[in-house]
């Protein structure tokens, strides 16, 4: 699926698909915690409502991060299917194998990622 012979594409794909399944399971599990908080003045005190709102916001942020990671995984799997995996989006050079093993979803080589982070 890629012209890179140094990449174990099957192993990386398995890792990505496993991580995708984990993220979807966590998302499903935390759905109730992201629902709007009831602000019934009679049922709970002010501090309990504040705690509930804070917990809701934490779960919403976790869901946002999960969604972003799922998007990166889906884009990576698409790049794998289109024989574009392992090459930098900006310069087209090969992404270092150790970088891909650490984060299989990275679309940039070290040099391009460094330039982007300094902008």
pLDDT tens per residue, range 31-87: 766 667 665 555 556 667 778 888 889 989 999 999 999 999 999 999 999 988 999
Confidence of residue 11 (pLDDT cuts 50, 70, 90): very high
Mean of pLDDT values over 103-109: 96
For residues 14 and 35, membership in a common domain is answered with yes
For residues 90 and 77, membership in a common domain is answered with no
Phi first, then psi, for residue 87 (nearest 5°) are -115, 140
Kindly report which listed range (45-49, 51-55, 89-93, 102-106) carries the lowest average pLDDT score. 45-49
Q: Which of these, 1, 5, 30, lies nearest to 16 by C-alpha position?
A: 1
pTM of the predicted model, to two decimals? 0.78
For residues 71 and 93, membership in a common domain is answered with no
For residues 30 and 72, membership in a common domain is answered with yes
Domain of residue 34, residue span: 1-82
């Amino acid at each position: 699926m890629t012209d890179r012979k140094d990449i174990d594409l099957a192993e990386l794909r398995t890792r990505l698909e496993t991580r995708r399944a984990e993220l979807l399971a966590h998302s499903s599990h935390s759905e109730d915690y992201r629902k709007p908080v009831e602000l019934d003045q009679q049922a709970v005190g002010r501090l309990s409502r504040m705690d509930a709102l804070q917990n809701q916001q934490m779960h919403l942020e976790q869901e946002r991060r999960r969604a972003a990671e799922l998007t990166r995984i889906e884009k990576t799997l698409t790049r794998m299917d289109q024989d574009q995996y392992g090459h930098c989006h900006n310069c087209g050079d090969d992404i270092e194998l150790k970088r891909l093993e650490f984060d299989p979803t990275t679309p940039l080589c070290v040099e391009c990622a460094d330039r982007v982070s300094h902008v």
